[in-house]
C-alpha cells in the first residue's frame, strides 16, 4: 500500500464530501489491508491533575478562564494511579493514558512523579501515554528513557480556525511540541475535535496537517465536542454522527497505519453509529467510565459493542506473555 505525505487540502475536502457509501468502501479497502484481523485497541484515560489550566481553550472545562473550571481536586499520587492502571489492565485495556491540566510540564517533584507513573504503567505490560501540554527537549528525553510509548498533543482544528478556539498558545507552538516528541523517539498521539463551528474546509485543513507529518502520527484521536456548561462553546449544536464517521473514514484513507481513535463525545453516539465508525476504520476506543472530565460508555457496554460488531480487542503485552 502506498503511504502518502503530500495530500492537498482540495483532495481531502473532496474525500470528505464523497457519497457516504463510496467513502466507506474506500476506507474499508484501506483498513482491511492495514489491519488484517480487524482488531481494536482498548485505551483507558485517567486525569492525574484536574482543572486550573492556564490555557483558554473554548471547549475545556479545565480552563481557569472558564466558569466550568473543575479545579480543586488534589493531584493524584503515584500509587493510586498505578492501582487504576492495574484495574484498567484487568478490565482489558491495552493502553493507559494519563492527563495533566497544564500549559507545559512542571519540573521537580511533579515531573519525577510523572516519570514514576510511566515506568510503573510500562512494568504492568501496558502502553503508556501522557498528555501534559508543552515540554522541553530534556523532558522529552527523560520521558523516552522512562519508557513512554506515546505523547498526546492535539492540534484541535485547522490553522485558520484555531485562533477562534485558543489564544494562549499558538499553532506553531503545538507543532514545535510535536517535533520535540519525535526527536526523543516517542510516538505521537495527535488529532482534533469536530463540532466547534468549523467548516468542512477546516476539517480538511486539520487532516492535511496530520497527514503531511512524516511519519504519520502513530495515533490519531478523532473527538467530537462535548459542549460543557460554563465554556464558550456550551451552546454549540451537537455534531451529526455521520460527520464523525466521515472524519474517521478520511483519516483512515490518509493515514493507513495510524491508530484512528474514537475519543471524546463517544457516549453521545448510538451503538449503530459507533459500529459504523468501526466499519469506517476506527481501530481504537477509549474504554471505561471517564475521559478526563467528561463521560464515556461503561466497560460492559463497550464489550457488548465490540461483540456486536464482531471485532476483537487487541491483546496487551502482559496478555501475550501469558
> Which residue, 113, 102, 45, 103, is CA-closest to 76?
113
CB contact set of 100 (below 8 Å; sequence gap of 6+): 48, 49, 110, 114, 130, 131, 132, 133
For residue 216, how many other CB atoms are within 10 A of its CB?
21
Active site (catalytic) residues:
53, 57, 60, 97, 129, 189, 261
pTM: 0.91
d(CA 217, CA 150): 10
Q: How far is CA 44 from CA 52, 119, 141, 315, in A?
A: 23, 17, 24, 14
Enumerate domains of the chain plus CATH numbers.
9-31+39-307 (3.20.20.70)
DSSP state of 60: -
Tell which wins on pLDDT, 287 or 136.
136
d(CA 199, CA 202): 5
Residues 287-316: tens digit of each pLDDT:
765 443 444 457 778 888 888 888 887 765
Residues 171-223: tens digit of each pLDDT:
999 999 999 999 999 999 999 999 999 999 999 999 999 999 999 999 999 99
* First and final C-alpha spacing in the chain: 33
Dihedral angle sign, alpha carbons of residues 88, 89, 90, 92: positive
Residues 43-79: tens digit of each pLDDT:
888 999 888 888 999 998 888 887 765 665 678 899 9
- 3-class DSSP assignment, residue 142: helix
**DSSP string of 143-210, one letter each residue:** HHHHT--EEE---BS-TTTGGGT-SSS-HHHHHHHHHHHHHTTPEEE--EEE-SS--HHHHHHHHHHH
Please determine, for residue 81, whether its predicted confidence score (pLDDT) is greater than 90.
yes
pLDDT at position 129, please? 97
Amino acid at each position: 500500500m502506498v503511504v502518502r505525505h503530500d495530500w492537498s487540502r482540495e483532495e481531502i475536502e473532496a474525500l470528505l464530501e464523497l457519497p457516504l457509501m463510496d467513502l466507506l468502501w474506500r476506507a474499508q479497502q484501506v483498513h482491511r489491508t492495514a489491519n488484517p484481523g480487524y482488531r481494536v485497541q482498548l485505551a483507558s484515560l485517567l486525569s492525574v491533575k484536574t482543572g486550573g489550566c492556564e490555557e483558554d481553550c473554548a471547549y475545556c472545562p479545565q480552563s481557569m478562564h472558564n466558569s466550568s473550571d473543575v479545579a480543586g481536586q488534589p493531584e493524584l499520587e503515584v500509587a493510586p494511579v498505578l492501582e487504576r492502571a492495574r484495574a484498567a489492565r484487568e478490565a482489558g485495556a491495552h493502553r493507559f493514558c494519563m492527563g495533566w491540566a497544564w500549559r507545559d510540564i512542571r519540573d521537580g517533584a511533579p515531573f519525577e512523579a510523572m516519570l514514576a507513573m510511566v515506568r510503573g504503567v510500562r512494568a504492568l505490560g501496558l502502553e503508556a501515554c501522557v498528555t501534559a501540554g508543552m515540554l522541553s527537549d530534556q523532558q522529552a528525553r527523560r520521558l523516552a528513557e522512562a519508557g513512554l510509548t506515546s505523547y498526546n498533543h492535539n492540534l484541535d482544528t485547522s490553522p485558520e480556525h484555531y485562533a477562534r478556539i485558543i489564544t494562549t498558545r499558538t499553532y506553531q507552538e503545538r507543532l514545535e511540541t510535536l517535533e520535540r516528541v519525535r526527536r526523543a523517539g516517542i510516538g505521537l498521539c495527535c488529532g482534533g475535535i469536530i463540532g466547534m463551528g468549523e467548516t468542512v474546509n477546516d476539517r480538511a485543513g486539520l487532516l492535511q496537517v496530520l497527514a503531511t507529518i512524516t511519519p504519520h502520527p502513530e495515533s490519531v484521536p478523532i473527538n467530537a465536542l462535548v459542549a460543557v456548561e460554563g465554556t464558550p462553546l456550551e451552546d454549540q449544536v451537537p455534531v451529526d454522527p455521520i460527520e464523525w464517521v466521515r472524519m474517521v473514514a478520511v483519516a483512515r484513507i490518509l493515514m493507513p497505519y495510524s491508530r484512528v481513535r474514537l475519543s471524546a463525545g463517544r457516549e453521545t453516539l448510538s451503538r449503530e453509529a459507533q459500529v459504523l465508525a468501526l466499519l469506517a476504520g476506527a481501530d481504537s476506543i477509549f474504554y471505561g467510565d471517564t475521559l478526563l472530565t467528561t463521560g464515556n460508555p461503561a466497560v460492559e457496554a463497550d464489550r457488548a459493542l465490540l461483540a456486536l460488531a464482531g471485532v476483537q480487542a487487541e491483546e496487551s503485552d502482559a496478555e501475550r506473555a501469558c
